[in-house]
Structure 1
Amino acid sequence: MTGLVVDILDLPPTIGATKQIHLDLAAPEDLGTEVIGAEPGSPLVVDAALVSMEDGVLVRGSARTRIHGECVRCLTGIDEDREITFDELYLLPDKAAEARADEEDEEADDLFVTGQTTIDLEPALRDALILGLPMRPLCRPDCAGLCSQCGERLDDLPADHHHDTIDPRWAALSELLPGSDEELD
């Protein structure tokens, strides 16, 4: 069991009954995408209200964590603090079985009360975080990226940075020029 699995034994089954939770733990490994996500092991603070419903438990919460990723243009590291909010209904096992039988609720397999005693907040938190993250993170909107010839960050190079290249179709003729032993920059 992970630290994001919450016990609901003390949540009264009366509709509208509420339980407040506060979790202060380390972010799990796979909370994000391959490009950007919660930095594994960084502090993750979750505050949520669990509300008894007829079909299950409604979880309304927020989480704060440190996000780490790389700019897709220049590969510079991106680090920022992020707050995520999420609202999810965790179905009771019998209601989840009904939803699966109806095949109308595609999420019935993901979010349900486990054995009527616990709920796992990690899938809901992961979904909310991924939806709030950019698909193509940038260090800044006007990032110039990398030089296609030398691979250096264009923002770190002078404005007149360039490489003299010879068209490969004419490369053999360049050997006939005087001083052809010198390489072109």
Structure 2
Amino acid sequence: MPHESRNPLSRLDPHAPLVLDTRALSRQPGSERKQTLTVPAPADFGVAMLGVPEGAEIELDLRFESVLEGVLVTGTAHVPLDGECARCLDPIASTFEADFQELFVYPDTRSGGNADDDELRLEDDLIDLEPVLRDAVVLALPLSPLCRDDCPGLCPECGVRLADAEPDHHHDVADPRWAALQGLTSDAPASNDEPSEVPPPGGRGESAPHQSTDRREGKQEG
């Protein structure tokens, strides 16, 4: 009695763009077939700041090879990319090539019956290429894409794109460590260069003239 797979296979939609039919390929090991096709990109095909627009054309160059365990698929995907620069937020539009290779095992063989959960299987001679394509493209995309390697980004003070700014573009920003001292300086009273007219008590200022005159007159009268 053949060993049953622990996880029943879900039915694949033969009309899905990335579900491919391998019936034209013989099970004889060494048999191979090449195919070139264009398919629309699925949704959410990318990372936060860069990805393939949904519905955009993906060009696939594929080779199907029959092996003992199943069908070995080798291919190259040519995808268009849209996104924005992580530094200056300018739009990015480019193309990307991703190579991949994956074995789809036959479910009625010993290898297919004991396949791990992360292994891919054929179902009624159909293979679903979408998870393979996602791994090949999405995992290779940079999380912080740049419009160019030396992109200077945006000015942190005014937000202007530094690549378009003048070479001497800068802002005079006070050191926050001196903010408290600047506050004390602004609150201090204005300085007065003129000396005080009233000397402090016990100071060395001149005595009042009438006091000295009175003392001299008292001595003469005596």
- Fold-level match, TM-score > 0.5? yes
The counterpart of 2:156, out of the listed 136, 148, 155, is: 148
Equivalent position of 1:90 in the other structure: 104
The counterpart of 1:54, out of the listed 68, 79, 83, is: 68
Unaligned runs of 5+ in 1: 101-105, 178-185
* CA displacement at 1:176 relative to structure 2: 5.3
Per-residue CA distance 1:83-130 (angstroms, 9 max, x = gap)? 222111112225244132xxxxx732xx221x2321111111121113
Q: Does 1:163 align with 2:171?
A: yes
Contact 2:48 2:143 in 1 (8 A): no
* CA displacement at 1:36 relative to structure 2: 1.7
* CA displacement at 1:16 relative to structure 2: 1.6
Equivalent position of 1:99 in the other structure: 115
Taking structure 2 as the reference length, the TM-score comes to 0.67
Q: Does 1:132 align with 2:143?
A: no
Unaligned runs of 5+ in 2: 1-12, 189-222
RMSD: 2.3
* CA displacement at 1:3 relative to structure 2: 0.4
CA distance in 1, matches of 2:130, 2:185: 62
Equivalent position of 1:17 in the other structure: 31
* CA displacement at 1:136 relative to structure 2: 2.6
Taking structure 1 as the reference length, the TM-score comes to 0.79
What one-letter code is carried by the residue in structure 1 that aligns with 2:52?
A: A
Q: Identity over aligned residues, as a percent? A: 40
Structure number with larger C-alpha Rg: 2
Q: Does 1:116 align with 2:124?
A: yes
SS of structure 2 residue aligned to 1:19? strand
Aligned length: 169
